[in-house]
Amino acid sequence: MTEADVLVIGSGISGLSYAIKISEQLPDTKIIIVTKADEGESNTKYAQGGLAVVTDFDKDNFQKHIDDTMRAGDGENERSIVEMVIQEGPARFQELVNWGTRFDKGNDGDYKLGREGGHTENRIVHHKDITGFEIERALLKTANQSPNIQILDHHYVIDIITDHHVPGKPFDKKNINCYGAYVLDQKDKKIKKITAKITLVATGGAGHVYKNTTNPLIATGDGIAFVHRARGKVSNMQYYQFHPTAMYSKRDGMLFLVSEALRGDGAKLRTKNGEPFMHKYDEREELASRDIVARAIDNELITRGEDYVGLDCRNMDREKFIEHFPNIYKKCIAEGIDPFQQLIPVVPACHYLMGGIDVDRNGQSSINYLFAVGECTNSGLHGANRLASNSLLEGLVFGHNAAMKSVEYLKNDVFNYSDLSQIPEWNDDGMKIMDEMVLVSYLRKQLQEMMSDLVAIVKSNNRLELAKRKQQDIFEAVTELYNYSILSPQLSELRNLVNVSYLIIKHSLQMKENKGSFYNKDLANKPLTII
């Protein structure tokens, strides 16, 4: 058994900034961070564009950023949350800088500000085109220097511990408490109990519920799934954003993200044979919000019967391109593409989930002493579609608020120590080692293909009903495997992806109108094109 004051699940911007904040406030608090891969592997690491925050108050202001966020979210955002996040943004950004994060500056010493789709002003602070990587580096360094923070890598959370694990305790689904988690130590193959007074879920998205995604392999919806199984409230799972421009590949899996900032700097979308098309879909053309651009590309591919469209960078400033987007340039060259001579082949790919675990402005979920921050949540910030580069901002602001609330709980010492002491160890008696992992990989592939074909950018009532039936069949097969097998990360991830797919389909079927990233052609009251 391992005991902690605070258990953090996930090591991206949300989890790390939260842990650092508590460590600074309460240096005697024992904080354990568990992450299922290497400590630096997270969705944060792969964020290219940057952090949306108002820094140039001569040209920009909070109201403009608020209006842009609300417009992108199709009015489904909670305005009070949007206002809070954006107004707190500059202070949280400064903390990132204080923790050692480097952002690009011009010769005048001011931050270089990029612009992405949906933004009316240049407000994206960045570190070249690897902003997330730089933030992750700085936060990890800070966390590792904190004597009361312990990071356990290759530790996979199976399920959170709640009241129903306490022997003899009646289960009240309206008043559920969290007491930590059961965690698989992948090095010694044992599932251990980690009890905690407070638990934070910062597990990122669930991109691998689809065949093609910009998310790393770890993005399998773990946090959403185990909170849902614990009867925590989850909502808005129908809102899944597809990034318009991932580099085309004949291989399924994680696709290389071609940052939206390229279009902000002047890159244009073209058909394979070089024809412009965005003017047919939105007056903002390439700078329309992601949902519009993704649907436009999807429609062009379907109507033309082609595999990809092209991103035209041939008229961009070569020196500026290589300086600002060195990683993208390097990837293009590695793939045999000269972006100054050829179109970059791009396709939409599953990118960001706007729904998830319901939380309040402090990141508190519907389960007591269980906080959640970042992409795994429905915070109210993004509404029906996330504005580009608002995700890192969300992680910082909600990470701060959750940390301050956690500090308050810890100072007041409000915890049920009797329940904490009664949590049993994990029991896998009678379970068998699975000798046919091919079943897991087969079912995962089946699930991903079903979701990609039937529940992706454009949906229909018939597709969703068919998906519901197919999902049930996969669920029953996976449940049978789970009930009789010693758990592995692969089986547990599949179980989580099945849970996530159920929620996406269920919430999609409940929709009565198209909003933001959600589009059902049977609910459409206007054509996709404007001309």
Helices 489-509 and 222-229: crossing angle in degrees, nearest 10, is 70
Tens digit of each residue's pLDDT (9 = 90 or more) over 227-238:
999 999 999 999
Q: Report pLDDT for 473.
A: 97
**Total residue length of the chain:** 531
Q: Cα(41)–Cα(329) distance, rounded to whole angstroms? A: 23
Q: Kindly state the average pLDDT of the residues 245-253.
A: 85
Q: Kindly state the average pLDDT of the residues 305-318.
A: 95
Q: Kindly state the average pLDDT of the residues 249-268.
A: 87
Q: Cα(160)–Cα(370) distance, rounded to whole angstroms? A: 9
Q: Tell me if residue 196 falls in helix, strand or coil.
A: strand
pLDDT value at 120 more than 70: yes
Structure tokens belonging to residue 453 = 């074909």
CATH of domain 256-348: 3.90.700.10
Q: Kindly state the average pLDDT of the residues 183-199.
A: 93
- Residue 374, C-beta contacts closer than 8 angstroms, at least 6 positions apart: 10, 12, 13, 14, 15, 43, 202, 203, 204, 391, 394, 395, 398, 399
Q: Report pLDDT for 43.
A: 72
Q: Report pLDDT for 246.
A: 95
Q: Report pLDDT for 437.
A: 83
pLDDT value at 494 more than 80: yes
**Residue 279: which pLDDT band, with cuts at 50, 70 and 90?**
very high
**Residue 40: which pLDDT band, with cuts at 50, 70 and 90?**
low
CATH of domain 2-238+354-421: 3.50.50.60
Catalytic residue among 290, 386, 463, 495: 290
**Residue 290 a catalytic site member:** yes
pLDDT value at 440 more than 80: yes
CATH of domain 438-486+488-523: 1.20.58.100
Q: Cα(238)–Cα(229) distance, rounded to whole angstroms? A: 18
Tens digit of each residue's pLDDT (9 = 90 or more) over 320-350:
999 989 999 999 999 999 999 999 999 999 9
Q: Percent of the chain having pLDDT more than 70? A: 99
Q: Report pLDDT for 334.
A: 94
Q: Report pLDDT for 430.
A: 66
The domains of the chain are located at: 2-238+354-421, 256-348, 438-486+488-523
Q: Report pLDDT for 197.
A: 97
Q: Kindly state the average pLDDT of the residues 32-49.
A: 80
